[in-house]
A = this chain, B = another copy of it.
Amino acid sequence: MSSAAHSAPYLVDAAPDERTDLLGAFHTVRGASTALTAHLSLEDMMLQSMEDASPAKWHLGHTSWFFETFILSHYVPSYTPFDPTFKEVFNSYYVSVGARHARHARGLLSRPSAADVLHYRAHIEAAIDASFGALPPAALDLLELGLHHERQHQELLLTDLLHALSFSPLYPAIAQGDVPRAEPVGNDIWHRFDGGLASFGHSGNGFAFDNEGPQHAQHLTPFALAGQLVTNANWRAFMADGGYETPLLWLSDGWTCAQKESWDAPLYWHRGDDDWQRFSAYGLIDIDPNAPVCHISFYEADAFARWAGARLPSEYEMEHAVGDQPIVGRFVEDGALTPLGGHALYGDVWAWTQSSYAPYPRYKAVEGPVGEYNGKFMANQMVLRGGSCFTPRGQIRASYRNFFYPHQRWQMSGLRLAKDI
C-alpha cells in the first residue's frame, strides 16, 4: 500500500465528467482499490480485529459482490456467477439478498484466498465490460452507486487495516517515506454566519447517496465556526487540565463509556517512557502538536468542546459554512492535500457534529435491496462531516453525511469547534 494512503489514488480517481465516462471511472475506482493492497501480504489482507472492521480481502470481495448482485445477476441474463458460495460470503448486511456470513467471522475466511478474490474482481470487471453497452439506465445508476460504494470501502479498508495492525507488538508501518509534518496553525480564526432560513441537502447535480436528500429548508441561528481543526496540542492541553478525569465535562453515557474503556487519550496513543506517541500508518510516531487530533470518539469531542467553552457544530452548520466558503478547497488542491491555514497533509480528519443521523424530511429509502443501503442505520449514530486524508476525493462534497456510533474511534475522526453568537 505504501504511499497509497496519502497520495495519488485518491486524487485522480474522480472527475467532474465521470458520469459521461462511467466505464472509465469504474475501472479507475476498481484499480484504486486493488492498488491499496498492492504492498500487503496475504496475511495482512486477512486481518479482522473486531466485528466493526473487515479484512482487506473481504472489502475487495464485497465491493465486487455489489456489482455482481445488483447489476450482473439482475440485468445480464447470460451472466454466470463466479462462485455460488460468494453470494453469502460477501453479503454485508442485505437481508433481502439472503443469508450472510457472520460478520465477526470474516477474519476466518482463509478460503476464498486472496488470489481467488483477485480473480473474482477480474471476472466482474470483464463481465461489466462485456455487458456495459447493453445495460439499461437503471443498471447504470446502480453502477455509479457501486462506484461510490467502492470508494467508501477504500477508506474503510485503510481504517480497518490500521486498527488490526495496532494489535501487533511490532508496530508495522504501512506507509512509506518520511512522516509528514504539519505546519503550525496560526491564531484562531472564527468564521461568523448569520443563520436564518437556508437550503440543505444535495441539489440534484451529480451523484449523491439517498441520505443526502431531499433538499429542504432549515432555520439556523447565528453561529461561528472555527477556521481550524482542534490540534494535538489543543488536545494535550485538555488532557493536562484533567479532561479525562472530570465527569462534569462529559455526557453521562460518554463518561460511563470512558470509564469502562479506561480512556485517557485518543485511540492509538501510547504512553512512552518520555512522552506520548501514537500508532499510525507510519508505525509508532511522535505526536505532532500541529496536526489535527484524530481517532477520538464523539463523546471525547463533545467533552473537549464543553471544556473549551464551545460546542460541536450541527451538520447543518457545517454544510452551510461550506456553501459560504470553500472549506473543502482548503484541504484538497493541485492534486495533493495541502493546508490552507495550517493543517498538515496527514492530519485532515472527519469532524464530529452534534447531529444525530436521521432521515431528512420526506426521505424515502429507495425500493428494493439497495433500499437497505442507508436508511436502516438511522438510529443511535452521529453525523460526521468533512472527509479525511483516507477519503477518496470523489467522496468529498458539501452534502456528504458520514455516520458512526458515538463511542467509535477507529475512523479518522476529529473535531472543529462552533459557537453561538
Question: Which of A's residues lie within 8 Å of B, judged by CB?
Answer: 41-44, 46-47, 49, 85, 88-89, 93, 95-96, 101-102, 105, 107-114, 164-165, 167-170, 172, 197, 216-221, 247-248, 250-254, 298-299, 302, 354-356, 358-359, 361-362, 372, 376-380, 406, 420
Contact = CB atoms under 8 A, between A and B. Distances in A.
Contacts of A248: 95-96, 372
A43 B362 CA distance: 47
Given A219-B219, A358-B356, A110 B197 contact: no
A219 to B, nearest CB: 5
A221 B362 contact: yes
A20 to B, nearest CB: 34
A196 to B, nearest CB: 9
The number of times this chain is found in the oligomer is 4
Contacts of A96: 248
A351 B85 CA distance: 37
Contacts of A252: 93, 376-377, 379
Contacts of A105: 49, 167
B221 A219 contact: no
21 contacts: A41-B42, A41-B110, A42-B43, A43-B111, A46-B110, A47-B110, A85-B170, A95-B248, A105-B167, A111-B168, A111-B170, A112-B170, A216-B219, A217-B219, A220-B361, A221-B361, A253-B379, A254-B379, A356-B358, A380-B380, A380-B406
Given A41-B113, A43-B113, A96-B248, 11 more contacts: A43-B43, A43-B46, A43-B110, A43-B114, A44-B110, A49-B105, A89-B170, A216-B221, A252-B379, A356-B358, A379-B406
Contacts of A49: 105, 108
